[in-house]
Amino acid sequence: MNRDLAAALFVFISSFIIFSANIGGLSIYSLDEAKNAECAREMLERADLIVPTFNYQLRTDKPPLHYYFMMISYSIFGVNEFSARFFSSLFGAFTVLITFLISHRYLGYRVAFFSFIALISSLHFSIQFHMAVPDPFLIFWINAALFSFLIGFKEDKKLFIYLFYIFMGLGVLTKGPVAVVLPSGIILLYLLFTGNTSIKTLKKLRIPSGLIVTALVSLPWYIAVYIKTDGKWVYDFIFKHNIHRFSEPMEGHGGIFIVTLLFIFFGMLPFSVFIPQTLKLAWKNRKESIILLSLIIVGVYTIFFSISGTKLPNYTVPLYPALAILTGYFLDNIFRFSNRSLYISLSFYTIIGLILTAGLFIGIRNEPEISDLSYLSLYFLLLPLSGILAIFMLRKSRIIPVLTVSAFSVFLGFLFFYYLFPKIDKRNPVYQMMPLIEKDRDIRYYKNFNPAFVFYLKKEIKPLKKDEIQGFLHSDEKVYILTRKRYLNELKGIKDLVILKQVKDLFERKISVLITNRKD
């Protein structure tokens, strides 16, 4: 086995091990995971590749490509937490691999290795690829498209130019127009910065035939779903989940522009503490094509989602590979920087680690269902501890402190997925209530309920109106109703109503309630 293949296999396998850590041992509980995982299950159940549904009602949030991967996984491994997340973890490993390969191609082994280190050290990056949502796939498609463009354009390779268009098409099938709009803007800026705006240059991009390829990959499904839903899916997706989401905050996820910067900073810890040095060095060496492209990717994503009405931590994750390349370039040139500069960054990291630990302690302590688990936050003291060790090691070496901080961060990631979060996960209302529900019994909901119940019950949960509840509970058979605590006052005086359990949804204000018609 040659060196290049061995290195690529090491990067891929180790990344997959990190990103798949305990993916089968954690509940499908968050709203996004529950709806995506259940939507794929329902499509598989109906053998329907066109119309996405959740709780057997049309779901217009996302296109279907990630559902297809989940359906394949369900067919192989069965419908469970592991299979819902398997391809997310796999695409995470692919994302790290292509970042390593493009770095190696243009900047050498050392930069490629440090880029790899920067990505696997990010707990937030790892969390993204632990989730049964479309983002892991979009992150890969966008970066694969941009890296393919660079190779195709710089080395005049037609195959990679067409791969650029294919990957954009797959991105459109994963999350919509954003997979074309942002990469196209990035490429335009790259061409402007490099002065490649001549007709001859544009011909190299094969824009007409390339856009046809993108359309052939993505449009057939959009046309099919338009026909099968009389245009409703396309209308809701474009106007509600794209235009409205960009122009206004949705579901309370708004904030000023600095929120996006904070997402990036905390998301790329530990090595985001070197962002000032990283960007300074990158700007000085922007004539290097991969450095310039990475700077543009980071800049475009940061600005775009800073002005977006809706702000979420996952929106900027597609820039992480580019930022990792720039970070890898900095770490390879860390000897150029003074000890004072590095001491300041590592000291800041130590302080941030202490603040983060204190914040987690307070946050968990103030969450009634898990307040007794606040001690778990103390494990995050590993972060400032690694910062302190790195400061002392800096006197003798520049590389060992980097590897120390990375090793502690990766170790904390394994602790988080195998030990810390499972303890919290067991306190969620779905985990607490499912053992109380006989799955073959009739179950309905009143006004609102946690969507994860649909995934675990594997059947439709139909709504009840207030005037239907009395008759439903009067059944000779045991039946159940899911609702929220805030609606209980509306149900006072209804006969046969027994509150079986109430559990607060973790880190939310909602309280899930399970109602039945008999205690036995």
> pLDDT above 70 covers what percent of the chain?
97
Measured CA to CA, the distance from residue 505 to residue 236 in angstroms comes to 28
pLDDT digits (tens, 9 = 90+) for 447-499: 999 999 999 999 999 999 999 999 999 888 999 999 999 999 999 888 889 99
Measured CA to CA, the distance from residue 284 to residue 129 in angstroms comes to 33
Which pLDDT score, from 0 to 100, does residue 3 have? 87
> pLDDT above 90 covers what percent of the chain?
87
In this model, does residue 247 exceed pLDDT 70? no
Which pLDDT score, from 0 to 100, does residue 311 have? 79
Alpha-carbon dihedral sign for residues 227, 228, 230, 233 = negative
Measured CA to CA, the distance from residue 175 to residue 168 in angstroms comes to 10
Domain ranges of the chain: 1-133, 140-229, 248-337, 338-427, 430-516
Is residue 335 a contact partner of residue 280, using CB atoms and an 8 Å limit? Answer: no
Q: Where are the alpha helices (DSSP H) in 195-249?
A: 199-204, 207-228, 232-235, 244-247
pTM of structure: 0.95
Query: What residues does 206 pair with on adjacent strands?
Result: none
Measured CA to CA, the distance from residue 177 to residue 239 in angstroms comes to 12
| Interval 235-251 mean pLDDT | 66
Between the CA of residue 491 and those of 449, 464, 468, what are the distances in Å? 15, 12, 11
Which pLDDT score, from 0 to 100, does residue 520 have? 66
Measured CA to CA, the distance from residue 500 to residue 520 in angstroms comes to 10
Fold of domain 430-516: D-Maltodextrin-Binding Protein; domain 2 (3.40.190)
Which pLDDT score, from 0 to 100, does residue 252 have? 46
pLDDT digits (tens, 9 = 90+) for 261-300: 999 999 999 999 999 999 999 999 999 999 999 999 999 9
Which pLDDT score, from 0 to 100, does residue 508 have? 86
**218's tokens:** 């993505």
pLDDT digits (tens, 9 = 90+) for 19-49: 999 999 999 999 999 999 999 999 999 999 9
pLDDT digits (tens, 9 = 90+) for 121-153: 999 999 999 999 999 999 999 999 999 999 999
Q: Peptide bond before 270: cis, by omega within 30 degrees of 0?
A: yes
Measured CA to CA, the distance from residue 422 to residue 416 in angstroms comes to 8
Which pLDDT score, from 0 to 100, does residue 250 have? 47
Reported confidence tier of residue 167, pLDDT bands at 50, 70, 90: very high
**363's tokens:** 């946050």
Mean pLDDT, rounded, of the chain: 94
Is residue 35 a contact partner of residue 59, using CB atoms and an 8 Å limit? Answer: yes
Give every CB contact of residue 206 below 8 A, 6+ residues apart in sequence. 158, 161, 162
